[in-house]
Each structure stands twice: as structure tokens, then as C-alpha cells.
Chains A and B, each alone.
Chain A
């Protein structure tokens, strides 16, 4: 399983969501072969900073804030 620094993971999440409308945390973790716990933590942090927002469609998705 890949081990990223917080900065690396943050950059990877931003890059991944830049190419998608929305994604589940699990899909992000699978894409980078990293632990979902770490992705959850970083996504929550980025949501608090207003960079990401959650969408609730049966389960939780994240997207870049204001991205159409």
C-alpha cells in the first residue's frame, strides 16, 4: 500500500477530482492504492477548508467546490 505525505495526498486528491465530477473516498483510496482512513482524514480537512464539498446521493461523494 502506497504511503504519501499529507502534501502529496492532498495534491493527488485535487488532481483526481479535477478529472471527475464526483468520487467516493473509497474510489480515491483505490486509485492511489492507499488507506481509506488517510483519504477520509484528508478529505475532511479539505472540506473544512472549503476546497471540497460533500454530495449525499445514497452514500457520500466529494467534489471540488464550485466545479460544475
Chain B
């Protein structure tokens, strides 16, 4: 068989960085489907259109999610990839594997699929790319035997994900790994059984640096924070200054609330903690001099999402501080989460995310339904909060004043 030329893909092999084309070509030596896939990708580049479509519903016994059906729209021309389903495998908390676990995952995929993986997808799962319908159940059985489970897809709870947390990061304000593991185990039903209006994502970051980018990508962001004072080591501050750190331009100017001042003579900084928003920029620039406070917990934000019904939203603070208590099984978080889900499930339209429902119904209704106290952190500045609708009666006084002014102006002209 003559090798098909793929000039456009060849361009993607150039340069010093690893190339997915090179890696796929290596895999194609043992997996003919991968060679066909490369030819299909080349054709897509030539025609500037993709050749994938949604087809029938595929899955494994007892699960409503975790497998995403992928079908080629040119099955006669590309029979090896006519079915090329994706499997989402629930990743371990913080994406920590040992080498044995990775080998077993890869062995299962070599046996049942194309061998191509995406470690990890934007969802957080280990993504296994490309298998056929007859292989799905056996692949799932082998994954289960190796200790893995499927992740979420469809209108259900998506696989929760967490940053590496206290396992590798001194900034972690709580045990992100434990919380992620706990939430995943507690909500197995919600993860595997699509029963909601649409998807719901939970991402967990141990500190305001938000390494999982939860604020933009999760319906519920859990972001570590503290409520006492930033701990300052003034000796280390002086060492940064002596070492040439431009404190004003690198730290002070970036402070969003301008709550830090610097005493040049003493080489000391002072933080007005009452006005600090816990953005953590100063701590990230001077980690040897500044540390997060001692009274740690998390901020909860709700409603982050990409564009579908409404435009993209960033998560909105619904609880500025919550103590995440391992001892009582994170009960406060679960109570709130279940109230949120109940309200959303009862009120949302099909394919309406929680942020969009709050946008449609108003923050007031959401707060009432979930027994949350309104707090200043929910408002950016008056009348600029996209989650709050001002009703016509709110403007009655304003309207009356305007009309009175008009009348006065009119009478002045006529005089």
C-alpha cells in the first residue's frame, strides 16, 4: 500500500516542540485506525471542515454518561474510524497516579481502543480517544478491574477536579484532594445518571491563584482563602528589596484595592487586611516574606460557564467564607449544594446552566431559595451587577423627579 501524502500535517511536525502528528504516526505503526485518522485530519485541513458527527447513543451497562459517541460522516471512505468513541475516565484527585496505574490504564486502552489518549482533557478526566461500540462494555469492565471508573458526560454532575493542593503546594488553604475525592464518592448517582436540566461542574482550587481556573470553567468554584491577616516576615521583605525586587511596580501597583504600603526607610510593608480582597498577588511575588493567614477555608462562587444560551459568565461569589470541615464530612457545603441543585432542577429550562437561571430569575430569588444571606461581596458596584434586576417600581421616584424637572423647564420656556 502506498503511503498517502499529508503535506498539511507535515507542517505540524516542524519546530522544536513535540508534535501530536509525530506521536500519532508512531502509534499508526501498530494501529491502522490511527493512520486512517491522520488521513481524515489532513482532509479536514484541506476542506476547512471537520468530518465528525453525533450518532446514536452509546454507553455501558448501568451508566448514563462517561462515553461520548463519535462517528465519521464519511464512513465508506474511512471505515476504520467510522466509529471512534471517546471514553472519559475519572482521574484521581489532583491527577496523581503511580506508574503502575498509568501502565494499567494504557494496557486497557491498547487492548480495546486506538491507543490515543488526551492526558488530561479540559474536563479533568483521562480521555481515551477512539474505540468502537462492541469494545465499550469490555473496555469498561477491564477499567473497573484495574480500579478506574468513568467520569461524567451529558446532563449530570461532571467529574469534579482539584488542584494538587497540600500534596505539593504550600499555599493550599484546605485539603483539595480529600474534598474532591469525598465529593466524587458522595455524588456517584449524580455523576453517572443524567437527570438534570444540563451539566454541572465543580472545580476545586486550594488558594486564590486558582490553578484549576475554576472561576471561568465551573458552575461551582471552591477556592481556598483565609479570613485573618496575611502573615508578614519583614526581614524577608527587606531581603527582597536588597535583592532588587521593585516593590512598587511589582507588588504595590498590582494590588487591586491598594491596601499595601511600603516604608522605604524601614524596608517594611504594611497591609490593611480589612481592605484586602485576598487576590494573593503579593504573596505569589514574595512567597518567602508573605504567607496566607492561619484561619483558612474557602470562598464559593457559582455560575461560571462558557457561551451557549447566554454569553460566557465568570463565577459569582455566593459565600465569601466557608469552613471546610473534614471531620463532619463537609456537611455545610453539602447542605448548600443540594439546595442549589434542587432549585435549579425545579426551575431551569432544558440546557440552562445554574448561572443562566440566576440571570433569568434574579439573584434575589436564588438567595431566598437557598437561604443564603445577601452580602456585599455579591455586588461589584451598585446597578452594575448582572445578576440583579431592578424592577420598574425602583425607578418610580427617579421618574417622578425627572418629570417634575421637565415641567419646571417647560414652564420656564413658556414664561
Contacts and interface: CB of A to CB of B under 8 A. Distances in A.
A57 B69 CA distance: 12
Contacts, number: 34
Contact of B59 (A24, A35, A56): A56
A54 B193 CA distance: 9
> Which of B189, B193, B194 is packed against the most chain A CB atoms within 10 Å?
B193
B155 interface: yes
A60 B195 contact: yes
A37 interface: yes
A56 B345 contact: no
Main secondary structure, interface of B, reads loop
A48 to B, nearest CB: 10
Interface residues of B, number: 15
B195 A58 contact: no
A56 B63 CA distance: 7
Nearest to A58: B57
A59 B346 contact: no
Contacts of B57: 56-58
Interface residues of A, number: 13
A60 B62 CA distance: 11
A10 interface: no
B270 to A, nearest CB: 51
Contact of B194 (A35, A36, A56): A56
Contacts of B346: 35-37
A59 B194 contact: yes
B382 to A, nearest CB: 36
A35 B369 CA distance: 14
Given A59-B194, A59-B195, A54 B345 contact: no
A37 B65 CA distance: 21
A17 to B, nearest CB: 16
Contact of B193 (A35, A36, A58, A60): A60
Contacts of B345: 36-37
A24 B350 CA distance: 13
A44 B193 CA distance: 10
B154 interface: yes
Top 3 A-B pairs ranked by shortest CB distance? Answer: A56-B64, A60-B195, A37-B342
